[in-house]
Structure 1
Amino acid sequence: MKTYLGLSYLSSFSAMGVASCCVLPMAMMLLGFGGSWLAVVGAIAGAAYPVLILSTALVAAAWLVARRRGTLRSLKYWLAGSTATTVLAWVLFLNEAGINDYLISRM
């Protein structure tokens, strides 16, 4: 079960990184951390959708495996954290235009 739990967290945080690929550069520029290195982040944008789908599938698989093995009671908080991170990644991804507009208005 530890493998599935580790994969669910790894996928959740990678989904968070991919989902923030367009918001993060704007936030960094707003904080004064600009530079040409921010262009590297744009290369990740094309992989956002598949990574988010894979992350969601791995988190769902972790829930199912925990339920089948009877360890859901002891792992529910860990799995809930992984699920919350994946949901936050989806929210960032789906609302990136609005978030970027807000950050631009703050410049």
Structure 2
Amino acid sequence: MKNYVRASYLGSLSALGVATCCVMPMMMMLLGLGGSWLAVFGKIAAASYYVLAVSSLILLAAWGVAYHRRTLSHLKGWLAGSTIMTGIAWVVVLNETRINDFLITLM
């Protein structure tokens, strides 16, 4: 796999990690795994939009490089997977309040 595709997946995985950091504490409390250590997620949440923006730029650059090097037909599936992961991360971050409200109703 090409380096720029690996970079797009690394960016997508970091975007998913940052996106779930705001929802993950609620899910952990539902499972009875709460505690003061969950406050660590607050510091990560402050950088979520920056990480998502950078990962989206890396993904866009990977699509551009694949197109420029004429390897888009071979890497289309990999880049589409990375795009889906980044899209899910954006959906989670932008709907974080709704997701947390739903999880609160389950408590």
Q: Which residue of 1 aligns with 2:14?
A: 14
Give the total of aligned pairs.
Answer: 107
Q: Do structure 1's residue 44 and structure 2's residue 59 form an aligned pair?
A: no
Q: Which residue of 1 aligns with 2:74?
A: 74
2:3 maps to a residue whose letter is T
Q: Which residue of 2 aligns with 1:59?
A: 59
Equivalent-residue separation in structure 1 for 2:21 and 2:66 (angstroms): 31
Equivalent-residue separation in structure 1 for 2:44 and 2:95 (angstroms): 17
User: Structure 1 stretches (4+) deviating beyond 6 angstroms?
Assistant: none
Unaligned runs of 5+ in 2: none
Q: Which residue of 2 aligns with 1:23?
A: 23
Equivalent-residue separation in structure 2 for 1:90 and 1:69 (angstroms): 28
Q: Which residue of 1 aligns with 2:101?
A: 101
> 1:19, CA displacement in angstroms?
1.1
Unaligned runs of 5+ in 1: none
Equivalent-residue separation in structure 2 for 1:37 and 1:9 (angstroms): 29
> 1:26, CA displacement in angstroms?
0.3
Equivalent-residue separation in structure 1 for 2:35 and 2:75 (angstroms): 42
TM-score, with normalisation over the residues of structure 2? 0.96
> 1:21, CA displacement in angstroms?
1.4
> 1:75, CA displacement in angstroms?
0.6
| DSSP 3-state at the match of 1:22 | coil
Q: Which residue of 1 aligns with 2:85?
A: 85
